Amino acid sequence: MKLLKTLAAASLLATPALAQDDDVTLQLQWVTQAQFAGYYVALENGYYEEEGLDVTIQPGGPDIAPPQVLAGGGADVMLNWMPSALAARERGVPVVNIAQPFKSSGLMLTCWADSGIESPEDFRGKTIGVWFFGNEYPFLSWMSQLGIPTDGGDDGVTVLRQAFNVDPLLQRQADCISTMTYNEYGQVLDAGVGEDELVTFLYEEQGVSTLEDGIYVLEENLEDPAFVDKMVRFVRASMRGWKWAEENPTDAAIIVLDNDATGAQTEAHQIRMMGEIAKLTAGSDGTLDPADYQRTVDTLLAGGSDPVITAEPEGAWTHAITDLALQ
């Protein structure tokens, strides 16, 4: 892909000694939890400080769309699922992936076994809980590929706009709900449901997984060598944080808890979450794998008459930051 020409020039600036205490605001995709442990570890262990960065981490929430925050100038860098980011880019928000700490997807559907669902074809006529605010794109693309309408009826699925909890499944309002391997699935088990009572469909195993939790910035900012330099240092420190978290999952979970201003998270849940998150970041040094990117794009384009994106994106990612950060 064609790289922004100013990125090469920025390599001359990509040393932590040249700038100190540069402010960076990171917008998370969701609330403070072990899903973002690498960034909290980098903050707590002083990795950002060593790179001359003063990093502010902004938690997300159910009503926060990171691309909108980024476009509005509320953050310098955001975390986002690639389907959401690419859809935003096609709508005119020029976000660019500069690093990809997550190698694998943790998204899945969790269904009641007694609903009669044994394969995706059995979704027809069922009610399925789906997260929105950009999280719906992988599901909608999957259904489009299967030829299953999402407007109800015996031949389609009824989409329940799922809040970010597991209540629709527990209360039998839905046959299936969206869950993450590292979060909501554990919440279902914690509610007293046995694994033998459930059927799960990992997007990864269904061949429709898309990249999650990538690091994105606005394209126009990559024309500024000083900004590029900050991002090189930010990515380098962040990946140090992620590798430390993978090797020290319990300690990483405790760091996350220490940074949870709401007090809503529990130690047991965060430790379990960090163990699952480590499986998703394993194998990535932060560099985006072009094959993973292309699989994501192909999945999103294969939406029949209602694809998530309508054309192959151009300029949606760059290796220029990771090439400098990880050298």
pLDDT in tens, 161-186: 999 899 999 999 999 999 999 999 99
pLDDT of residue 234: 98
Average pLDDT over residues 193-211: 94
pLDDT tens per residue across span 70-91: 999 999 999 999 999 999 999 9
DSSP, collapsed to helix, strand or coil, labels residue 90 as helix
Q: In the structure, what pLDDT confidence band is assigned to residue 305 with cuts at 50, 70 and 90? A: low
DSSP, collapsed to helix, strand or coil, labels residue 192 as coil
pLDDT of residue 81: 93
The percentage of the chain sitting over the pLDDT mark of 70, rounded to a whole number, equals: 92
pLDDT of residue 1: 47
23-103+211-326 and 107-205 share one fold: yes
Task: Select from 245, 241, 234, 246 the least CA-distant residue to 325.
Answer: 234
pLDDT tens per residue across span 118-150: 999 999 999 999 998 767 888 988 998 899 999
pLDDT tens per residue across span 183-192: 999 999 999 9
Task: Select from 141, 216, 125 the least CA-distant residue to 176.
Answer: 125
Residue recorded with tokens 């502010």:
56
Q: Any idea where the domains of the chain sit in the sequence? A: 23-103+211-326, 107-205
pLDDT of residue 137: 82
pLDDT of residue 5: 41
d(CA 94, CA 216): 10
CA trace torsion 239, 245, 246, 248 (10° rounding): 150
- CATH tag, 107-205: 3.40.190.10
Asked if residues 85 and 97 have their Cβ atoms less than 8 Å apart, the reply is yes
DSSP, collapsed to helix, strand or coil, labels residue 196 as helix
Asked if residues 129 and 180 have their Cβ atoms less than 8 Å apart, the reply is no
Instruction: Give the global pTM.
Output: 0.87
Give me the count of residues in the chain.
327
pLDDT of residue 190: 93
pLDDT at 16 over 50: no
pLDDT at 231 over 80: yes
Determine which of 25-29, 62-66, 127-131, 318-322 has the lowest per-residue pLDDT on average.
Answer: 62-66
pLDDT at 303 over 80: no
To which CATH superfamily is domain 23-103+211-326 assigned?
Periplasmic binding protein-like II (3.40.190.10)
Rounded mean pLDDT of the chain?
92
pLDDT tens per residue across span 232-285: 999 999 999 999 999 999 999 999 999 999 998 999 999 999 999 999 999 899
The percentage of the chain sitting over the pLDDT mark of 90, rounded to a whole number, equals: 82
Q: How many CB atoms lie within 10 A of CB 129?
A: 25
